[in-house]
Structure 1
Amino acid sequence: MKLSFFKKLFLVFICSFFSGKAIAQSNHILWYNQSADFFEESLVLGNGKMGATVFGGVNLDKIYLNDITLWSGEPVNANMNPEAYKNIPAIREALKNENYKLADELNKKIQGKNSESYAPLGTMEINSHHSGKASNYYRELDISNAISKVSYEINGVKFTREYFVSAPDQIMIIKLTSSQKGALNFDINSNSLLKFKTETKNNVLTMNGFAPIHENPGYQVVPSFLLEKERGTRFTTLMKIKNTDGTVVNSDTSLGLKNGTEALIYVSIATSFNGFDKNPATEGLNDKAIALANLNKAFLKSFDKLKQSHTADYQKFYNRVSLNLGKTTAPDLPTDERLLRYSEGKEDKNLEVLYFQYGRYLLISSSRTKGVPANLQGLWNPHLNPPWSCNYTMNINLEENYWLAENTNLSELHLPLLSFIKNLSITGKVTAKTFYGVNGWAAAHNSDIWAMTNPVGNFGKEDPSWACWNTAGAWLSTHIWEHYVFTQDKNYLKNEGYPIMKGASQFFLEWMITDKNGYLITSPSTSPENKYIAPDGFIGATMYGGTADLAMIRECFDKTIKASKVLNVDTEFRAKLETALSKFYPYQIGKKGNLQEWYFDWNDEDPKHRHQSQLFGLFPGDHITPLKTPDLASASRQTLEIKGDETTGWSKGWRINLWARLWDGNHAYKMFRELLRYVDPDGKKTEKSRRGGGTYPNLFDAHPPFQIDGNFGGAAAVAEMLVQSNENEIRLLPALPDAWESGAVKGICARGGFVISMEWSNKTVKKATIFSKNGGNTTLINGDKTKKITLKKGQKIELVW
């Protein structure tokens, strides 16, 4: 084993030496010396609406296609359970009588339908008519320009493919070349797991189809594909070849090229989705016309022109942030081997940078469609029945997708989530009235493209531990404040954000009740997906005064109060929130020194449970800190110690951020390394099974299976280790691990509208540049040094220590 590794290292050295390539691994390129056999080995591209999953096969190149607006279902009937709220008094009475078993059963009456499912649009296949064995195979994704490439040689002829998905032109481009004139022969076809038909006409390959109309209980799509014209979202895929030589050929269901040297394939897709409240069949967009218009416009442009506008558009986001974590001695290996090597504990600082930037790449690629944020799998789903419906799980996963939006300088990419929250606030008003009997708006555990807000559970058939949670509105509304406090966009706060925050607060103001001691609590209450053990041994979920509820509502009220002060509005409503906050049931520290999850100091059914929702006030909230609330911070640390470090991908991403907020950089880094533990593709059979949470060969997060939130949470945590901020101060290197002793970062954002660049060595900041987008004051903290700063709009200051 050792011998083969050193042989490989020697070969890499020789190849690098003679090619003039430096022996250093890349911090922006994923590369492999074989094609992908599994989804978790593929390379993904996207423009925030259209997604492509490229396998890069030699004779058969398979490309999964997705459109972020293609979901099952149609606009939700928010009034699905109009008298559910009438059950609330009985649940509260059962809880008051400490009859938790009855409360659990009654809580099931506060349930509605399950979410709809994100659908796989189709699969494109490029069949190359090669004779002979391929050699010198190479496949890459360059995340600095969002372009993927494949190259190989057969019988002395070099073949290349280049792929990108353009946001400006709403088109996918694939360029195929051969080094020998006339050696390029291929045909393309497409198919779908959905109801579809294909035809070739005027040298355009067309695939039309539609998504199923509803989701079945238990996350199963009903494959009945009803044929009524009034049901379901339609989709169109168009493919066309532009050739420089050779002959374009076609059959009824395929398109191809014979004896060519260079060719472009243009792929255009569109759906009839026209908003969360519009029937996509009767009020839908004209998907055929949109796909054709985008194809025709792009077809008139050259490859170089399309590539140039794609690259410029993408890099305006990507290039805002750069990261250097110091000198590295790691060799240049294919990314899968590199990940394996790193999993053995070896140093690879540029892999850590690559993982951070890959998180940013994924957000740029999957979050650019208004009202349709990145879902559980981002944008890339090949399954008819995807894991957890590929939906919006709002008790952590959807929010974690956006933790890196503001601080890694991708604020515009937060807007799909913020506009989705606005949609939720509309359907959520009906949910608040019919499920809970109060005003304001509410949202629950799951949602979908139709902005479904009801508690799920298939009308009483599912476990309250996850189905009956109703605090998503509180959590999501804090994203509005985050966007404001990072951008200082007062117009957004006034015209869109604050009314939504106020509505979320209104719901909880009316929903909360007092306990026997006069404290404000929620009842009924659950803690996301966890269960308690009552003194009589009953294992249940329904309770009152759950810590997670109160932490999220504290944060929601606090931010709504701050927003009303910024805008100088609603003094009376603000006073109600301030009074309510003063009456909240306080945090409790349990006998183990932990931050209690439940109203009473009860044990969890699973002490190492993946959710840590009771720690919300530490992160992503900010009302627990080592300085302001040392006892609560210490109890949070003890909670994390009890839970341990072994957990799933998204949960590990959250825990890394929590350790960073406790200013324990080394523990955060330990878990960051564990997040990058190599995991085999789901379907791969190997002698040495490498399963569990970690990272797949293509750097996708292994929950397992794939969930993208671990990628986003892990990337956000890197920024959190380097810079932390609130409305009044910016803390440099608050959780820097020993492993990152020297380095530099450019473009990290801080609250207050500031942008930070800095260099450090010996774990100490040597130079920092602070830029103000809008002008303002802050206090800069660097170790035990503090400096008050006042900057005008567009002003920059450089500090040297």
Structure 2
Amino acid sequence: MKRTAFILLLTACFFGGALGQEPLRLWYRQPAQTWEATLPLGNGRLGAMPDGGVLRENIVLNDITLWSGGPQDADRPGATKYLPEIRKLLFAGRNDEAEALINKVFVCRGEGSGHGDGANVPYGSYQVLGNLHLDYDYDTDATHPQHYVRALSLDSAIASCSYTVGGVTYRREYFTSFTGDVIFIRLSANRPGKIGFRLSIDRPERYRTTVRNGMLEMSGQLNNGTDGKGMRYLAGVAVIPEGGQLSAGDSTLQLRKADAATLCISAATSFRNAGFARQADSLLQAALHKDYAAAKTAHIRAYRKLFERTRLTLSNSNTAATLPTDERLAAFTRDPSDNGLPALYFQYGRYLLISSTRPGLLPPNLQGLWANTIQTPWNGDYHLDVNIQMNHWPLEVTNLPMLNEPFFTLVKGLVAPGEKTARTYYGGKGWVAHVITNVWGYTSPGEEASWGATNSGSGWLCEMLWRHYAFTRDTAYLRQLYPVIKGAAAFYLSTLVRDPHNGWLVTAPSNSPENGFRLPNGKTAHVCASPTIDNQIIRELFAHVGEAARTLGADPSFRQQVAAAARQLPPNQIGKDGRLMEWLEEYPETEPHHRHESHLWGLYPGTEITAAGTPRLAAAAKASLIGRGDAGTGWSLAFKMNLWARLGDGNHAFRLLQNLLRPTSQTGYNMVNGGGSYPNLFDAHPPFQIDGNFGASAGIAEMLLQSHDGYIRLLPALPDQWPAGSFRGLCVRGGGVVSMAWKDKRPRWVSVQANIHHVFRIVLPPAQKNISVTVNDRPFPATSRNGILELPLKKEDTAVLIFK
């Protein structure tokens, strides 16, 4: 029997078939009134967000590679000569003076990121590709729609819209093809001759629209911040009518009285692609010769190969499951018993990840793939102090390891510019990246010391890339990764300095990301020596570099150096208030409820603080979380959710999930009391920032399964709201794929499939006595010691545990 069928049979046996997964879809009874209510489609390169308008529809188009700006040298020559004075001021407790000096001589050269408004400076911004407009014709003046439904199916990655006008039922389908690499839009009606529209395409600036060979074309060149000759792009739109009359104007297409029509949209940019115009035209021509039904079937098949690798069902979903998604969000704030909504939200995060990256291209940015402006918030770039990392938190655990490559390639591209930055500012070896980067390889500090001096960004990037190895144990990948993480370690090893007060090796200067503190003189500062996050990241980086070197039989001398340095890093410290200290000194915070929880990195996503292994530090981390409070921006809520899950408090993690699912319409910047979800379930920082979606998916997985401390922990943070459920295809470190079902908050069965040879250690539920174990359908003599069951599995073995 196939493994999937066997798992379904097990679930049915224990639950009587009552855990069937409800349809995974977002749906609404009206067109989108804001961009944050439109439905996101993407195939990892092209994106489309239709608003489902009845008289006029706007479809926002995106290409993951469309960036203004260009390569630049933002390193400030001679910066390293000021480093001794900066460190002297820091060690003298004159952090405010050190910060002032850094702002003068130790930040980036030029305009940096443009303070987050970099569309027209060399840093650049991720930008909207364009807007496709359809003005629809009807045979009646009474155009108020009846029976309107707009939906997005996560099971098929297809959006749809249907309604009735003048007794005619109209239907639209939209998808960004995972096989043809174009966008398809299908328009139909239940009566012939009823499809008519005027079609146009534009963008806010730098475009020209023409009609060529009966097709719309939009082309242009973005600003590179220097001579204006930046990235070029081309988008093409073709209409395949079924009946009717298609005519062309100078920059529009008009279709009248057709039975149906299919629109094909192709686009490409010059990013690493000199032949982009030929590519866009070739893809469009290929789409024109495809049968729509066949293209749709191929798209669904390709998409499901990724999406269906993981399933989640939570029992006891209430009647809110029948509500439109916007109404369902509102209902959840009043009554959180709708367990289908967290399951939908979990899969929505996976859907967004699958849709916004693909091997050979770019990782998801601050908005994934989707943007509707020229100046995307914070440039739509890659922030290295939590955001790009959070974008990838669900990647391994939710069974999407093949999507790691764009992230790895981006980081690998930072090594060469990061080596120059390391020399210019620190006289250091190896490579460093600070707090922001873009597709052009930016590694310099930011333009302000208060946030831009953080230099642990490169270390955190490497630790996220290490996670891929921890889950897969792919030694071929490790060989590619090793030079990258060794270079990052070499930077810290060569730039750590001895703190004259305590003898520790410390980073100086640095920040605890974006947070500030008060000095004894009453002044505020952000720059410091060795914030807690730096020590936690570097300690784990050094350990993993040592493990990689041993595994690969490389660099014994370097291995010894990082091990010796790791022992001299500042330890985690607990303050007088019982909280984990964020800085080496117990400074008062300027914002006690600050959105960042950087000093808790060692609890999550790091692994050095655990409830079982370091209970005092775990208690101090808990006290810190309580002190920070449960409010925050979207991604901050997701971070706290994962932290509470690591502490084993599922009810508190669920409370953070409730906050994330609070409906909001805020679109402006709110860095204090923001958070929540837009009607289309996009995470509200606000404005929209996709890392909260990804962080929440990872958090839900963390509530159900953990493996960070060398053991598989089943239901480690299960909230009271989820007494029964099942999942299939979550992954654990060591190359294992786990499925399970539970009832009355206790596991009923668990399967572990090994992708490599590995010994899996499972923490058994307390007081669990009767367990039967099979491996490949044969009885296995299972023995446990101290509540731990060891399963030595070979590649492709599957073990099944049944709890009686």
| Fold shared by both chains (TM-score > 0.5) | yes
Residue pair 1:111, 1:455 contacting (<8 A) in 2 also: yes
- 2:739 aligned residue: 757
* Matching residue within 473, 485, 497 for 1:513: 497
Classify the secondary structure of the residue corresponding to 1:741: coil
Work out whether 1:392 is the aligned partner of 2:382: yes
Aligned 1:414-493 pairs, distance under 5 A: 414-457=404-447, 462=448, 464-493=449-478
Amino acid in structure 2 at the alignment position of 1:70: L
Amino acid in structure 1 at the alignment position of 2:222: A
- 1:501 aligned residue: 485
Work out whether 1:169 is the aligned partner of 2:180: yes
Residue pair 1:119, 1:211 contacting (<8 A) in 2 also: no
Deviations 1:766-792 (A, max 9, x none): 100000111211201132332100111
Rate the CA distance shift 1:681–1:465 in 2: closer, same or farther, 3 A: closer
* Matching residue within 739, 742, 763 for 1:781: 763
Classify the secondary structure of the residue corresponding to 1:455: coil
Amino acid in structure 2 at the alignment position of 1:338: R
- 1:252 aligned residue: 250
Deviation at 1:549, TM superposition (A): 1.1
Work out whether 1:63 is the aligned partner of 2:62: no
Amino acid in structure 2 at the alignment position of 1:595: L
Work out whether 1:734 is the aligned partner of 2:724: no
Residue pair 1:474, 1:505 contacting (<8 A) in 2 also: yes
Aligned 1:38-437 pairs, distance under 5 A: 38-77=34-73, 80-108=75-103, 109-112=105-108, 113-114=112-113, 115-130=123-138, 131=140, 132-133=142-143, 134-214=145-225, 231-274=229-272, 284-331=273-320, 332-370=322-360, 372-437=362-427
Deviation at 1:371, TM superposition (A): 5.1
Q: What CA distance in whole angstroms lies between the structure 2 residues aligned with 1:187 and 1:318?
A: 36
Deviation at 1:25, TM superposition (A): 10
* Length, aligned pairs only: 746
Classify the secondary structure of the residue corresponding to 2:527: coil
Residue pair 2:607, 2:709 contacting (<8 A) in 1 also: no
Query: With structure 2 as the length reference, what TM-score do the two structures score?
Result: 0.91
Amino acid in structure 2 at the alignment position of 1:126: L
Residue pair 1:49, 1:369 contacting (<8 A) in 2 also: no
Q: What CA distance in whole angstroms lies between the structure 2 residues aligned with 1:565 and 1:631?
A: 31
Deviation at 1:683, TM superposition (A): 8.1
Q: What CA distance in whole angstroms lies between the structure 2 residues aligned with 1:572 and 1:25?
A: 54
Amino acid in structure 2 at the alignment position of 1:649: G
Classify the secondary structure of the residue corresponding to 2:319: coil
* Matching residue within 26, 31, 37 for 1:30: 26
RMSD (CA atoms): 1.8
- 2:704 aligned residue: 722
Deviation at 1:85, TM superposition (A): 1.5
Residue pair 1:696, 1:702 contacting (<8 A) in 2 also: yes
Classify the secondary structure of the residue corresponding to 1:756: strand
**Gapped runs of 5+ residues in structure 1?**
1-21, 216-225, 275-283, 685-690
Deviates most, 322-331 or 333-342: 322-331
- 2:9 aligned residue: none
Rate the CA distance shift 1:25–1:329 in 2: closer, same or farther, 3 A: farther
Residue pair 1:465, 1:527 contacting (<8 A) in 2 also: no
Q: What CA distance in whole angstroms lies between the structure 1 residues aligned with 2:788 and 2:293?
A: 50
Deviation at 1:187, TM superposition (A): 1.9
Q: What CA distance in whole angstroms lies between the structure 2 residues aligned with 1:153 and 1:607?
A: 54
Residue pair 2:336, 2:658 contacting (<8 A) in 1 also: no
Q: What CA distance in whole angstroms lies between the structure 1 residues aligned with 2:359 and 2:245?
A: 38
Work out whether 1:670 is the aligned partner of 2:655: yes
Identity %: 39
Deviations 1:95-119 (A, max 9, x none): 1222222101112222112242101
- 2:120 aligned residue: none
Residue pair 1:727, 1:751 contacting (<8 A) in 2 also: no
Deviation at 1:518, TM superposition (A): 1.6
Q: What CA distance in whole angstroms lies between the structure 1 residues aligned with 2:124 and 2:560?
A: 40
Residue pair 2:453, 2:509 contacting (<8 A) in 1 also: no
Amino acid in structure 1 at the alignment position of 2:129: L
Deviation at 1:163, TM superposition (A): 0.2
Residue pair 1:43, 1:698 contacting (<8 A) in 2 also: yes
Residue pair 1:367, 1:414 contacting (<8 A) in 2 also: no
Q: What CA distance in whole angstroms lies between the structure 1 residues aligned with 2:172 and 2:330?
A: 27
* Matching residue within 682, 691, 715 for 1:700: 682
- 1:17 aligned residue: none
Amino acid in structure 2 at the alignment position of 1:260: A
- 2:614 aligned residue: 629
Rate the CA distance shift 1:520–1:786 in 2: closer, same or farther, 3 A: same
Residue pair 2:242, 2:259 contacting (<8 A) in 1 also: yes
Work out whether 1:590 is the aligned partner of 2:578: no
Deviation at 1:369, TM superposition (A): 4.9
Residue pair 2:609, 2:617 contacting (<8 A) in 1 also: yes
**Gapped runs of 5+ residues in structure 2?**
1-17, 114-122, 767-786
Rate the CA distance shift 1:25–1:61 in 2: closer, same or farther, 3 A: farther
Residue pair 2:416, 2:431 contacting (<8 A) in 1 also: yes
Classify the secondary structure of the residue corresponding to 2:510: coil
Q: What CA distance in whole angstroms lies between the structure 2 residues aligned with 1:137 and 1:25?
A: 25
Deviates most, 646-655 or 784-793: 784-793
Q: What CA distance in whole angstroms lies between the structure 2 residues aligned with 1:590 and 1:498?
A: 36
Q: What CA distance in whole angstroms lies between the structure 2 residues aligned with 1:33 and 1:343?
A: 20
Amino acid in structure 2 at the alignment position of 1:798: V
Residue pair 1:25, 1:330 contacting (<8 A) in 2 also: no
Residue pair 1:330, 1:347 contacting (<8 A) in 2 also: no
Q: What CA distance in whole angstroms lies between the structure 2 residues aligned with 1:190 and 1:328?
A: 43
